[in-house]
Structure 1
Amino acid sequence: MALAIFLFTYIFIAGARLPFIKLDRPGGALLGATLMVVAGAVTPAEVFGHSSDRSQQAIDMDTLVLLLGMMLLAVYLAQANFFRAAGAKALKVAHTPRLLLVAVTFVSAFLSAFLVNDTVCLFLTPLVLVVVEDARLPPVPYLLAVCMGSNSGSVATFTGNPQNMLIQGASGLGYARFAAYMALPAVLSTLIVAVALLYLFRKELPSARFDTHPPPLEVDRRLLALGLGGLLGVVVAFFAGLPMSWSALAGGVLVMSLSGHEPREALERVDWVLLLFFASLFVVVHGVHKAGWAEDIRHLFSPLMAGPPWRETLGFAGLTLVASNLFSNVPFVMLARAWVPSMQEPELAWHVLALGSTLAGNLTLVGSVANLIVFEAARGKVRMGFMDYLRVGAPVTLISFAVGLGVLLAEHALF
């Protein structure tokens, strides 16, 4: 029953539509979680975390609290016009279409390394659309730079994307140690994204200089300083080894308390639907684990990972890349995080899981929520089909993943 509910839920997670039920991803996940409880696969006590045994708690509250805290910080930075200011700064140094493309890629990547990539895409996309329209540039390469740069940059830290947050909660690895291994793969992946976009769109990007006239920008300097100070304090707390979830929420609440603004506006801009989506997925995947199907799925793919550590790592890397697009990266990480502790080199496997599940988002249009956010925001101005995206996403993903994996293997061999 648990497996049947999971497969039914996956129909909606994959973005498919049924003629008799009109549900999106969050709605489908909530339906799946409810069915798990109604069918008895998961108990209400497990959903509400009444047990002190974490294995009996369906919802990982640490991950949700961490996500909430980082969202809150991002909202206040957006209210201070931080994201628009960062984009305007990129424009000042970029006077040609090609340099602008590189600037957008790296700005998106850098911001996503510390803030949730979905949030970065939500706030950067409208600015990029205004700029390219004003400069009469083709919007597609710049929109791809936003989402692909965001995905590649978010590899660097636990707070870059939701799947890395899941890995942090399950692995117990320190923020600083994780970032030390993942920073170089993130930088190289971002560089590959920029070079690939420059090459693939070389005929559409003129070499002449341009001038843009974005709308006047009013920055709330006090709120900006407060938001950046809060973010810096949270990152310092991460590196100091303090609990990440409550450090992030404490930073967000502190900024909220000192902002001088009514909290309601900021709280309404938090993506509560995404939080509900994750909570529901936790319940669905917990039912699959409890019924033993997660371990059965692992045995199904075990021939790919049989043998010495290097073969296990390569097999797991390939599985992660493919399954993150078939099952979507967050549900796959929820499943796979139970497998990693028993692998021959667990820490390397955690890093591979983070790298593969994140860069897999660049492969297809539906591979990452960040991709969907960008092109939904551009609806009416840009039409991006599945195959149109895949023609760019396939080479970018395969090259960046191969390079990133090679760097990780070298780092673990040396250090």
Structure 2
Amino acid sequence: MVDADQTFVIVGGGLAGAKAAETLRAEGFNGRVILIGDERDQPYERPPLSKGYLVGKEERDSVFVHDAAWYAAHDIELHLGQPVTAIDRDGRTVRLGDGTTIRYDKLLLATGAEPRRLDIPGTGLAGVHHLRRLAHADRLRHVLAALGRDNGHLVIAGAGWIGLEVAAAARGYGAEVTVVEPEPTPLHRVIGPELGQLFADLHAEHGVRFRFNTRLTEITGQDGMVLAVRTDNGEEHPAHEVLAAIGAAPRTALAETSGLALVDRAHGGGVAVDASLRTSDPDIYAAGDVAAVHHPLLDIRLRVEHWANALNGGPAAARAMLGQEVSYDRIPYFFSDQYDLGMEYSGWAPPGTYDQVVLRGDVGKREFIAFWLKDRMVLAGMNVNVWDVTDAIQKLIRSGAQVDPDALGAPSVPLDSLV
């Protein structure tokens, strides 16, 4: 029986929001739980949108966090296809797009992020795509299949994770692919030049053409359709479709208009939260892509846009909303699948934060682990086609211990022995 005396509202219909709702019930909360999402689909996971579902290996229903019946069975009130337009912090209410107001005792913002837009001529042409939502993946899946049938060209702006995963999917369908990237290597701001070249070589072997140190300046068309792209070095490339994969921006508009503390975009943006995922308002929490957490282990404010952060952050916020002691110190983690390469990355080591990269295994066969070190301490590790080592890598990071780089790079030395 639901007790209407307390109402917890969750704004955001993604993995973080769904897992928060699940955790509230699992922890025994018997008040009202209202989950509001601006998409018409029930909450789903985003990795399949650029991986299994996009490449045709998974069915559409596999992306959903729970089936539709689960929400009713657990007394979770779903408001789908309905945006929240305002938060009244004094009155502790949220207003929906249709004018309805809903009272809350605790509020969780799990509004996620939205794709950054290309600011160049031609983005209004049919055939310019983004990939963030299930509807985007539905459309792009058909587009890639058609390009493969017709020997069509896809131009991708951006060689980050989404850009590379879509490139791999497109080549799997048989489409021609050109990737335009302003940095000198793929994933340059995430894993640096030392490992970025590995991904450039991988995709080149599968027929992807790269244009590095280059930006799109214009998308040209005919009869409203994409025809080609132009770049800042004066080149023109044929294109039937264009994907903008230049990153995502946290959806902070609600937090901003309600006066919650935010983080400057230059430092990653997002809603500022403490280690318990509480915002500057004690009754409002934030989790997932939108939350910039003061990480108690790394001692930095960090906003992470990956699946594991939503999976774990939503439940952590739910427990904090229930008054439990929470210190959200998960090591950032993400994974990717491209062709026959599978990888997992743990930690945080963008260029400029490390002074050494140690490789363990056979890089030529793409079966190895890379470690990023600072003063002989492991900041991050990436295992490529090597499995069941994530726990050991994360223990190394969490320990803060100085390690012998030679031992770290020697496959004969067990990782657990270095902690």
Larger Rg: 2
Scaled by the length of structure 2, the TM-score of the pair is 0.30
Q: Which structure dedicates a bigger proportion of its chain to helix?
A: 1
Q: Which has the higher strand share?
A: 2
Normalised to the residue count of structure 1, the TM-score between the two structures is 0.30
Higher relative contact order (CA 8 A, sep 6+): 1
